[in-house]
Structures are given as structure tokens and as C-alpha cells.
Structure 1
Amino acid sequence: MAQFDYVIVGAGPAGCVLANRLSADAGASVLLVEAGGADTSPLIAVPRGFGELLGDPATAWHYPTRPFGPAQRVEYWVRGKTLGGSSSVNGMVYNRGQRADYDALAALGNPGWGWDDMLPVFRTIEDNALGASELRGAGGPLQVSTSDGGDPLLEDVITAGTELGWQRAQDLNEADEERIGYTIATIRDGRRVSAAGAFLHPVMDRPNLTVALRTSVDRVVLEGGRAVGVQGRQDGQSVEYRASREVILSSGALATPKILQLSGIGDQATLAAAGVGIVVDSPNVGARMREHRAFLMQFRLTEDIGYNRLLGTPEGLEQAQAEYRATRGGPMGAPSSDIGGFFKTRAGLDRPDGQLQIAPYSLLPHQPGKAIEIEQEPGIMCIAYMLRPDSEGSVRITSADPDAPLDIDPGYFATEHDRTTSAEVLRAVRRLFSTAPLSERISHETVPGQEVRTDQEIIDAGLATGSCGYHAIGTAAMGPDDEDVVDSRLRVRGAAGLRVVDASVLPVMISGNLNGPVSALAWRAADFILGEA
């Protein structure tokens, strides 16, 4: 039985940061456990390779949800299954969220998590190609960049946004007002920058750092009220690792509550129904989950421009791949969305409550478990969602068997606030696409279609043709009260030596994509862990 000071479960955007920071102490032994394999797929480095990676069970988990919506649709929530976790398979969009998000964390009774605490963390971890500023970092391990732009179609998108009063932003992270611009992405020189590439691989040769691949953790070992290790399986064989200082769960908002519940930490009724004995009564493990419900909007173009003509046929795709191999540029060198925007759904709001991401291609209907496919007719797509939903879902185990499926209740649109705001998000996107000069490029809306008009029709369309944002949070949320799963230092209540460091600890939704914020969260958590060592 191997013994370490720290056992970190999950090598995603949080786990890679923790492995880097904690192993910097040569006197501390660190084990990083990853259920997937090494990040050796050549597609990981190719930015637009994400479409293949997301559909491949070798590089991504596919978690089915409960049926939802009028059609009782089952959706598959995808998470990375390789070193780097979801940062190795995602769309690479890098948003930090808004100042008020972090100040809200502190206001809820979590000191040390306000914007004034977190901005220095972001500046420390970033290496922004635009250079350093008071709000931007340079020289850090996580490289981010933005395209130079210049595509006429995309320029028309940005110009239309400015006609609506949105500011054109060179760096979408520098301010919190309504804005639109080219996406900041975890890409440098045409190659993806995953958390593994930024934080883990540069320190893999440290003698005090061990990485266990293809190792799924089934439960935390608790003795006398303390976490002393983990049990799991490596290549099908039982393994157990002991931790003399801490076990740290960094498996994300779906897998972390699963491990906690299988370990006997959770809601009494949930555990009893699954046949798991209770060790710590923590009713909000797996509860309070929030997730973005993203609307897919697509428009047919009046001319044969955009990427469909390249990416929608085998011949065109080969041409795009050849361009990428030669230059590291072209469609294959871009993030999932070329343009991002943040906007207010109604006047009088103090900050944007909607986000959009636009790419000059359009999709065929997605088949679960398969690669994303591009239409051949010219089109443009937009993913849009309200930033701060207050509807809550949940993640619960269904059995003591670690291989049994989870019960994931998305909880979409449970509140009037979410339904009304989301309908206005879609209408705001329509205003953008009906504004010149972009409107002159548009033939008609194909998804969901102009016939979708009322709030209820919009919500139904969002449930039928939209997707999750892959931004679930809150399933082991921090807070000052006894019913909060972790405290403000992310220590699990009722279990000494056990900490959670990932998106599940967030009690409020970050206003944007989570990849960057989770790495920053882990960097901040490492400060607390090292301060207690």
C-alpha cells in the first residue's frame, strides 16, 4: 500500500494546478490520480480537434441525465477523461467571470475569495499574449491568446454588436460592461494549452510527484473521522493509496459528489436508497447544482462564406487540416467560438446577464457519443445562455456499485427568473443578427426558427435543441453554515483531512466559462493548503 502526504483525485484544471503547487515542496510527496489515460492523442493539441475528442469514450466521459422537457430528452454531459481533464477536450474559451461573482462568494461568508483576492491569482497564472496590465497577467504558466481577426463575416458580427451599444473589446476579460470581441482562448501558436500542458508536464520529473493513470477512485477511506486514503481500481485491479496529510477531491461537480456519497458522506435518504452506510450526514452533497442551459441558434448565410465549405466535406476538411499542418492557422487553429459577447437582457441591470459565443460554421443535429458534424450549406452558429441561473438540480448515486449510473437531474428552468431571462437572451441574439451589417449576410434563421416566438416556445426549443453549458457547479458548495459541504478553506465538514477543490465548491455561478476560474480556484486553494501544512 503506497503512502503519500497528499493524494489528489482528478487531473483536470484543478488537480493539475494542485499537483504543481504542492509538489513544489520537495519535502512533501504528492500522488495525482487520473481515471483516464495519458494526454497523447494528437487531436488534443489541435484546437478544432475537440469535436472528435468530445465524442470519443477514450477521451471523454458521457454522463446521461434524467429525461427532461416536453420530449423527455436524455442528454449526455461530457467531461474530459485524460490528463488535463476537460481542459484537454473543451472549446478552450477563457473567461474569468465578473468581479461581482467573486465578491458574492465573500459576501456569502467565504472570506478570501473576493475579487481583490482572486485578481492577483489570475494575473499570476496567466501568460496573456496581449501583455501584462493592471487586469491581465503575463509570464505565468497558462498561455492564452486571441485571434487577430480580419475575417469579413466575423468583423460584421462585431460591428453589429457595436451598433447595439456594446463595446468592442480587445480583451473580453478586462471589463464587465456590455462588450463583444474575438475570443480569448487557451491557445498559443495554434496549439491547445491544457491544464496538463500548463501546470503538470513542466513538473512531471519531480521525484516527489507520482501520477497514477487509468485509476478510478471509488471511495475515500475514513478512519476515526479522518480521511486517510482512497480505494479504487487501476486497470481493473484493486488499489489503495494512503494520505498522511490530506485527500483532495478534484474530480469535478459530477464525480466529486459521487465519490463523497460512495464514501458515506451525503444525504441520509440518498445514501440509504443506494445501500451505503452513512458516515457524515451532509445533506447538500450533490444538491444545489446549477448549470447553464445553452441555446443553439443557427442562421443560413446568403453567400458561400464561413467554414462550412471547408469543414463540412471530407475534401474541405483535408484542405483545412493541410493548412493547419503548414501554418498552425486556419479554421483548425481556432477555438470552438471565434467571437464572444456579454450583454444585458434588459435596461437597468448593473451588469451583463447574457453571454454569446459565435462561430462561422453551423452544425448537423448532434448524435450522442459521436463527433460533432458540420453542415455543408453555408451557415453561422451562436451558443447563448443566461449567465446566472438560480434553478437547482442534483447529482445522486443510485447504488453502492461505483459503476452504477448517476441520477443527474439538470433542474433546467425551474424558476420564473430563469425562464424569462433565457427567453430574452434568445431575443437579444436575434436583435444582433438583424442588425446591419450582419443582417445583410443572413438569409434566415434555421434553429430554432423564426416561428418560435413566445417565452414558452423559446424555453421548449432550448430544451429540445440546446445543450448544457458543461459548467455545473455547487454540488459540494462552500459556506459558513453547518449544512454547507465545505468551509471557506474547502475542508469537508465532518471529515478531517479531506478537502474538495473543483467547481463543485462554488455556491454561485461564475459569469462565463469555468476552465480558467477553476484553475485559479485551485491556485488559491493551494495557498490555504500550504499555509496549513
Structure 2
Amino acid sequence: MLWSALFLLSLLPGLSHGILLEKFQDLKRNKFDFVVIGGGNAGNTVANRLTENPDYHVLVLEAGGSNENVLLSMVPKFCVETIGSAIDWNYTAQGGPVLNRDMDYPRGFILGGSSSVNCMIYTRGTREDWDRYANVTGDSGWSWDNIQPYVRKNERFTPPFDGHNTTGEFDPSVHSFDGMNSVTLSGLRHQLDTQVIQASKAVGNDSDFRFVLDMNSGNHLGIGFGQSTVLNGTRSSSATSYLGPQYINRPNLHVLLHAHVTRILSTGTAKNDLTFQGVELSQDSGATVHTVSATKEVVLSAGSIATPQILMNSGIGDRKTLTNLGIQTVHHLPSVGQNLTEQPLLSYNWVVTANDTDSEAARNATLAAEQLKQWNDTRSGPLANAPGLDLGWFRLPANASIFEEFEDPSPGPNTAHIEIQFVNGGFSLETPLPNLIGANPALLCPTSRMSHSFSS
């Protein structure tokens, strides 16, 4: 695509602040209180909170590079361009016998993990979702009411980049304005966005397509304004927030980039003592292996793909699978690498007469350059918005025929089965590229489960 040609050249390395290290030899120690594997959402949050205690030295090991100055990650509108790029792990998912096709499975290969490459849509789930977690686990701490203080510690609701008046576009009472990660509304309204919202308000409250003021209130059914993790026209990720300048400079926080963790190492001295406080890593595809250790804990937070891979390489997993891979079993745990749940999304495009779609810039190099200049100069314009500007949440009818064969997989009657993302643009191989809009449905309550396929 045109954007790719313009912006892949902007993957510039930059280490402009803090203790971000690129070479293992630059570490001043190999023992830390905590070693955090994975610099993504969970890892960066844990590292931030642990280093609030100045007596704890924390090492974060990130396989990817720095997020600093990586334009492809910084510009909200470029999020789709990260798929298959140098900051994507480039995983492939096999669709199984029904789909009979392979699919891209994007995951962030960069500090910030997938929060540095996703399309920044901010959704919390519903009250019923969280109350079901509490019920299944037997832990009331996971309920909607009890999780909200932590949701609000994470969220800092901010105005759009252009000061757009957001009155009537969200419910301030269900948001936090002093948390860590920025959440905002769009600062630019396209014809599509205006018409989607106008239509939802026109149909009335009894319609499935009714307007919902705030889909993050715990009840999301209907259509409303999308909320995105964007700050002043730039992506807000776990790297820019939890490892932001005011935190990365902590002398007890250390981040090693390009650090591929291969195994966690058992340090137990007694029989059946499954204590893992050693971490094995490489920065040159295994030619050189290094080891660090944690005096307190190793925190394994490498995401849904790499975490089970590291566990299995460490001898933790199904004994038969490990034996077939030539790995000695340290702990037989058959569930490792199983039961991955994913929410598939389809892309549907329509040709429209509107002349303010993103398709116009995708076919016009001059306009694309103007938009990039505007973003560079002011952090505003079309590139400052994430793609999902309006979202819809819908349920199948209670008498749908599928429920004659399958139990309703949703947690309750106020939780959607399907999400639809209304996108001001689309994908097409037509030349010249027509003006397109997209309405992309995602399955929210899948019953299918995936498993991992690894090589040691």
C-alpha cells in the first residue's frame, strides 16, 4: 500500500531517555529482585508498580526493540500497517477444517507489546463479563464493582487532540481522569461517523441499533462513539505510559531490549522443588546464551503465544508433547499451550459517494504527504485518529435457531454476541481505489478453542 512505502522507512531506532539497554554487556548486574519477561501490557504494569519501592531492582526483558521514534507505532492511523511489519512477530493461525485457510495473527514485537501495534480500541467488557469471572474463579475481586478501582487506576480520560467538545459523547461518571494510560474520543468527524450516530439516535431506545452513550459503562448494547488509547494525536501504549519518561528514569528499573528468553531455569534444591528463579536468554539467535536470576520472583508475562512457548521450552507442559520435541519434562502440565480463545473479525467494504474517506489518501501521494506533515507539525488531522471511531454491540435474537443446538455462550442478556466496527475506509484491489467504508463484525463469544504448535 501507499502508506507502507511512505512510512516503513520511518522505523527509526531511538533511545532518548532512561535505562533502556540494547546489549546484555551493558547490564551492571545479573541478579535482580524481580525479572519480568515481556515488556507488554502486563509486564510494563508490573515493572512500574514494583519499582515504586526503591529497594527493588527490576529487570524487564523485551524481545523487540524500542518504541521510541517508531512512526509506524506512534501514528494512530497507521495501526493496520503494523501487520506483517518489522514490529510484528508475524505469527500465522491455521483456521482449521471449516475455514481451511491460514490467517495473520498480529502480536507486537516492540516495547509495549501489542499495545504498541493494535488499533487502540478501548473496551472494558460488560458487568456480566466480570461478574462471570468472579463466579467461575470463586474470587469476588474479579467482579465488575471490585475491578473498577483498578480499571480507573489505569485510565486517564483526555480531550481529543483538537479540543472537540465531547459533551453527550461519553459518560464522565464511569471514567477516570488521573490514571496512567490515556483514553480519548475522536477529534475529527467524517460523514460516516456523523451518519452512523444520527441513525442510531433516530431509531429510538427500543431498537437493537439504539444509541448508547458510553459502551464502557458495563452495559454496551447499541451503537456509540468509540474510545481509543490515544494521547494528543499519538498512540498511548504501556510503553509510553507505564514506562514513560517519569518512570523509565527510576534507577531501580532496567529494560533490556532484543532479549529473547529461551527458558526459565529451575533453582530448586530439593526433589520436586519447582522453584524457578533463573532466566536464560539470547540476543543473537542462540549463538550466545546469557543467564540472569531473580532473588524474589520471575514474572512470566510474555503474552498468549510466547508465555506457553517459554514454559514448554522450560520443560513445563504435556509430557508427550515435550518428549516429541526432545525436551525433558520438569513438570507435567497438559493445559500449557491449550484453550486459546480468539475473537475473529471479518472486513466488509462498501463503495460510497462520500469524498472524505481514508481511501482518498491511500490513492493520492500528495494528500498522504500533506496529512503526514500535518501530523508531524501539530499531531492533528486524519492520521491522529484510531480507525474504530464508532462501534456497535448486538445480540442474536433469543429464538435464533443456533440456540436450539448450542447453549448461549454469552455471560448474560446484556452482553453482545457481535461487535461491529464502523471504519472510514477499507481494503480493495481495485484500481483506482474507490471511496470505501467498512462495517467489520467481530465474534465476541466464540466457543472454539485454539492450541499452540511449537518447535523447541
Please indicate the TM-score interval, normalised by the length of the shorter structure.
0.7 to 0.9
Q: Determine the structure 2 residue equivalent to 1:36.
A: 64
Distance in 2 between the 1:4 and 1:267 partners? 30
Q: State the AA in 2 paired with 1:214.
A: H
Q: Which residue of 2 is the match for residue 6 of structure 1?
A: 34
Q: Take 2:388 and 2:187, find their aligned partners in 1: how far apart are those partners?
A: 14
Hey, what does 2:214 align to over in structure 1? 171
Q: How far has the Cα of 1:134 moved from its partner? A: 4.3
CA shift in 2, pair 1:68/1:132, >3 Å: closer
Aligned to 2:193: 154
Q: Which runs of 5+ in 1 are unaligned?
A: 366-372, 401-533
1:255-275 C-alpha deviation (Å, 9 max, x unpaired)? 101011111111112111111
1:104-183 equivalences in 2 (<5 Å): 104-111=132-139, 112-129=141-158, 133-148=172-187, 150-162=189-201, 163=203, 164-183=207-226
Q: After superposition, what is the alpha-carbon deviation per residue over 1:429-459, rounded to whole angstroms, capped at 9, x for unaligned?
A: xxxxxxxxxxxxxxxxxxxxxxxxxxxxxxx
How far residue 179 of structure 1 moved from its aligned partner, in angstroms, is 2.3
Deviation of 1:31 after TM superposition, in Å, equals 0.6
Partner of 2:292: 241
Matched residue SS, 1:296: coil
The match for 2:314 is 263
User: Is contact 1:257–1:396 with CA below 8 Å preserved after alignment?
Assistant: no
TM-score, structure 2 length as denominator?
Answer: 0.81
Q: Distance in 2 between matches of 1:244 and 1:83?
A: 24
Partners of 2:129 and 2:337 in 1: CA distance: 22
Determine if the alignment matches structure 1 residue 354 to structure 2 residue 418.
yes
Q: Partners of 1:364 and 1:374 in 2: how far apart?
A: 8
TM superposition shift of 1:350: 3.7
**Which residue in 1 is equivalent to 2:3?**
none
How many residues align structurally? 391
Q: Secondary structure at the match of 1:322?
A: helix
CA drift at 1:352: 1.8
Partner of 2:106: helix, strand, or coil? strand
Residue by residue over 1:82-129, the C-alpha shift from the partner in whole angstroms, topping out at 9 and shown as x without a partner, is 111111111011111111112111111241222122111111221112
Q: In the aligned structure 1, how far is the partner of 2:323 from the partner of 2:369?
A: 54
- Distance between the aligned counterparts of 1:2 and 1:374, measured in 2? 56
Q: Provide Cα deviations, 1:444-486, integer angstroms capped at 9, x if missing partner.
A: xxxxxxxxxxxxxxxxxxxxxxxxxxxxxxxxxxxxxxxxxxx
Deviations 1:2-26 (A, max 9, x none): 1111110000111110110011111
Alpha-carbon separation, structure 2, partners of 1:317 and 1:69: 41
Q: Corresponding residue for 1:464?
A: none
Q: 1:16 touches 1:200 (CA, 8 Å); kept in 2? A: yes
Aligned partner of 1:46 in structure 2 is: 75
- Equivalent AA in structure 1 for residue 59 of structure 2: L
The structure whose RCO (Cα within 8 Å, separation 6+) is larger is: 1
- Distance apart, 1:362 and its partner CA: 1.1
Q: Deviations over 1:170-200 (max 9, x none)?
A: 4321241412222100112111111111101
- d(CA) in 1 for partners of 2:261 and 2:340? 22
Alignment partner of 1:284: what SS?
coil
User: What TM-score do you get using the length of structure 1 for normalisation?
Assistant: 0.69
Task: State the alpha-carbon separation in 1 of the partners of residues 127 and 49 from structure 2.
Answer: 25
Instruction: Tell me the C-alpha RMSD between the 2 structures.
Output: 2.2
Q: Aligned to 2:83, what secondary structure does the other structure show?
A: helix
Q: Whole-Å Cα distance in 2 between the matches of residues 197 and 209 of structure 1?
A: 15
Pair 1:307–1:3, CA change in 2 (3 A): same
